[in-house]
């Protein structure tokens, strides 16, 4: 199957999530917002992948290790926390959607399979009361085997199903048919969570829409439609790679919904990666372009399929959408990465006429991967691998400087920005990175940086100093320029001047670092770029790190991986 690999900058924290535990919750099982939530005052992870709000004072963050939130208290202070509850999908959060009181979040972990390490969807959780209670849904999959009790031998064979002569039963573990627009549509059975990850979610008209790569595009009724008595995921067919449309009730009998590669009988356009729904219109991004659908009763008429070759979008791998509503028109933005053609490039594509024509723009002035977008009626913000950009017209862009806390001097050691959100009611700009979150109330002139770690303990020698991330992937973590960075945090309530010496496994000193600074009232921090005193990156291995503070020494170990 056409493979997708995470950008390590976006989902780096997912690589070290815990081993999955099998569990199942009944449809009506609801769990409280603060159940087992033993740690308040911090996020679940410093990698902030997505930012959404529900009302003026409640914000949600999809992170590399679980859903987090922030309550803005009446005095303006921020109460951070995270949802450490069994109703949440395990691992990182590739998708987060909020619409009014409804919140939905998906999960992903890495799992070992015969071909190596692959992403595995861990389900979707949703709340209808702004996060007070949650319902867990397993990752949407098809059954392993489908039985066709009303099929005889000839009908079974003619439909390319299997016949069990002993029980005289027709069955299939490859294909089945799904109801859509008054027709029965042939579809590949997708019964595995591996490569079936809900990379994007949308909420509209009491449905949760999920774009799940191998799982395609599906939707789930938060509120049961009239006449239905069972909530279940509904598979949504998409046009084939070479099709421009797909209308309800007019789908040819040869149509086959199959997310495998074209060489294996499938379609890249059946691999769902992003979805946006608004104004009775569904925009679905795949590995083969942008699809526009118009909701018609219980069905969706796909009236347009836009590609790099035919419609001037920059690339066919569509990562996400955002919409700007102006006084006299709406602008739809799409994050379009290069897929498999040499003529494609990673940039932004947008349309001002509902898909009739498309333009492209490059915030950095050159092709690069955009991770997230947020727009309002005056500006659009683009979070990219080189930083955060803003534009008023979509053509001319300005770049924000890398945030440094106005009070402590604490900096976010990450050039890449994963997410951005602008709060209209208090003019706060929220920015999420792989190294924490920051907020500005003056459009980036001053910043308040928020980062989270396990506190050190002055009275406990073993917890006096910590290094993170540990292990330190020197070419991947906290990249600025060509350097990754690791932090050493140590307890220092008296604000002594500390020194850290780093030794290799042979106890030869690699480097001495003296550039410590306070990060709060009790702790200091030293940052190391993984290079020795000669400016060369150190080799793989375990390093011994010695803190000298007020005449005492304390040790910790750090694993470095190139």
Instruction: Please name which of 240, 196, 251 lies closest in space to residue 218, comparing C-alpha atoms.
Output: 196
Q: What is the 3-state secondary structure (H, E, C) of 504-526?
A: CCCCCEEEEECCCEECCCCEEEE
Tens digit of each residue's pLDDT (9 = 90 or more) over 222-258: 987 766 777 899 999 999 999 999 999 999 999 999 9
Helix (H, G, I), strand (E, B) or coil at 58: strand
Report the C-alpha gap between 94 and 13 in whole angstroms. 11
Report the C-alpha gap between 140 and 97 in whole angstroms. 17
Q: Which residues contact 547 (CB under 8 A, 6 or more apart)?
A: 464, 465, 488, 490, 498, 499, 500, 553, 554, 555, 556
The mean pLDDT of the chain is 89
Tens digit of each residue's pLDDT (9 = 90 or more) over 22-51: 222 233 333 333 444 435 678 999 999 999
* % residues pLDDT > 70 (the chain): 92
Q: What is the CA angle 375-344-257, rounded to 5?
A: 85
Whether the predicted pLDDT of 283 surpasses 60: yes
Instruction: Give the ranges where 69-133 is alpha helix by DSSP (H).
Output: none
Q: Give the number of other CB atoms < 10 A from CB of residue 403.
A: 26
DSSP for residue 189: -
Q: In 473-508, which positions are buried (b, 16+ CB within 10 angstroms) versus exposed (e)?
A: bbebbbbbeeebbbbbbbbbeeeeebebbbebeeee
pLDDT of residue 519: 86
The alpha carbon of 197 is separated from its chain's Cα centroid by a whole number of angstroms, namely: 10
Instruction: Give the ranges where 102-186 is alpha helix by DSSP (H).
Output: 153-158
Task: Give the mean model confidence (pLDDT) for residues 195-215.
Answer: 97
pLDDT of residue 145: 94
Lowest-pLDDT range of 391-395, 489-493, 516-520: 516-520
Please report the sign of the dihedral spanned by the C-alpha atoms of residue 492, residue 497, residue 502, residue 506.
negative
pLDDT of residue 22: 26
What is the pLDDT confidence band of residue 535, given thresholds at 50, 70 and 90?
very high
Whether the predicted pLDDT of 7 surpasses 70: no
pTM over 0.85: yes
Task: Give the mean model confidence (pLDDT) for residues 262-289.
Answer: 96
pLDDT of residue 37: 46
Burial zone of 206 (CB within 10 Å; 0-12 exposed, 13-18 middle, 19+ buried): middle
Q: What is the CA angle 422-15-112, rounded to 5?
A: 140
Whether the predicted pLDDT of 422 surpasses 80: yes
Q: What is the CA angle 50-273-292, rounded to 5?
A: 110
Whether the predicted pLDDT of 14 surpasses 50: no
């Amino acid at each position: 199957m056409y493979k997708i690999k995470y950008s390590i900058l976006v989902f780096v924290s997912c690589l070290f999530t815990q081993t999955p535990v099998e569990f199942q919750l009944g449809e009506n099982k609801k769990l409280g917002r603060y159940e087992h939530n033993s740690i308040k005052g911090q996020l679940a992870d410093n990698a902030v992948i997505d930012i959404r709000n529900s009302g003026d004072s409640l914000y949600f963050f999809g992170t590399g290790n679980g859903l987090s939130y922030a309550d803005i208290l009446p005095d303006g202070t921020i109460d951070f926390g995270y949802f450490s509850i069994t109703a949440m999908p395990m691992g990182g959060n590739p998708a987060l959607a909020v619409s009014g009181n409804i919140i939905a979040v998906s999960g992903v972990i890495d799992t070992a399979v015969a071909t190596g390490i692959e992403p595995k969807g861990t389900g979707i959780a949703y709340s209808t009361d702004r996060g007070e209670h949650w319902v867990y849904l397993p990752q949407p999959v098809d059954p392993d085997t489908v039985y066709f009790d009303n099929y005889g031998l000839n009908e079974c064979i003619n439909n390319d199903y299997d016949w069990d002569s002993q029980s005289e039963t027709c069955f299939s573990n490859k294909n089945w048919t799904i109801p859509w627009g008054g027709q029965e549509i042939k579809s590949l059975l997708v019964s595995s969570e591996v490569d079936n990850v809900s990379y994007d979610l949308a909420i509209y008209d009491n449905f949760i829409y999920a774009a799940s790569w191998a799982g395609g595009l599906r939707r789930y009724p938060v509120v049961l439609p009239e006449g239905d008595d069972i909530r279940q995921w509904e598979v949504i067919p998409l046009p084939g790679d070479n099709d421009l449309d797909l209308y309800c009730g007019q789908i040819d009998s040869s149509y086959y919904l199959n997310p495998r590669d074209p060489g294996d009988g499938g379609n890249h356009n059946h691999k769902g990666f992003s979805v946006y729904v608004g104004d009775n219109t569904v925009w679905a991004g795949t590995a083969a372009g942008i699809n526009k659908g118009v909701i018609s009763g219980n069905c969706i008429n796909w009236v347009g399929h836009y590609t790099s070759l035919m419609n001037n979008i920059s690339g066919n791998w569509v990562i996400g959408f955002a919409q700007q509503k102006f006084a006299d028109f709406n602008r739809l933005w799409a994050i379009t990465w290069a897929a498999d053609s040499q003529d494609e490039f990673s940039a932004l594509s947008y349309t001002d006429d509902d898909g009739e024509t498309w333009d492209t723009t490059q915030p950095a002035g050159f092709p690069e991967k955009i991770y997230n977008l947020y727009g309002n009626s005056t500006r659009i913000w683009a979070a990219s691998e080189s930083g955060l950009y803003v534009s008023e017209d979509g053509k001319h862009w300005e770049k924000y400087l890398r945030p440094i806390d106005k009070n402590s001097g604490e900096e976010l050691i990450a050039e890449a920005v994963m997410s951005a959100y602008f709060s209209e009611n208090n003019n706060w700009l929220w920015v999420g990175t792989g190294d924490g979150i920051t907020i500005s109330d003056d459009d980036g002139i001053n910043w308040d940086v928020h980062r989270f770690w396990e506190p050190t303990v002055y009275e406990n020698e073993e917890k006096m100093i910590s290094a993170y991330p540990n292990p330190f992937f020197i070419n991947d973590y906290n990249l600025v320029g060509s350097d990754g960075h690791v932090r050493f945090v140590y307890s220092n309530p008296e604000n002594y001047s500390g020194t850290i010496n780093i030794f290799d496994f042979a106890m030869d000193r690699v480097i001495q670092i003296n550039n410590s600074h306070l990060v709060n009232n009790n702790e200091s921090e030293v940052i190391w770029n993984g290079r020795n005193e000669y400016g060369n990156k150190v080799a793989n291995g375990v390093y011994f790190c010695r803190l000298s503070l007020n005449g005492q020494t304390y040790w910790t170990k750090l694993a470095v991986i190139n």
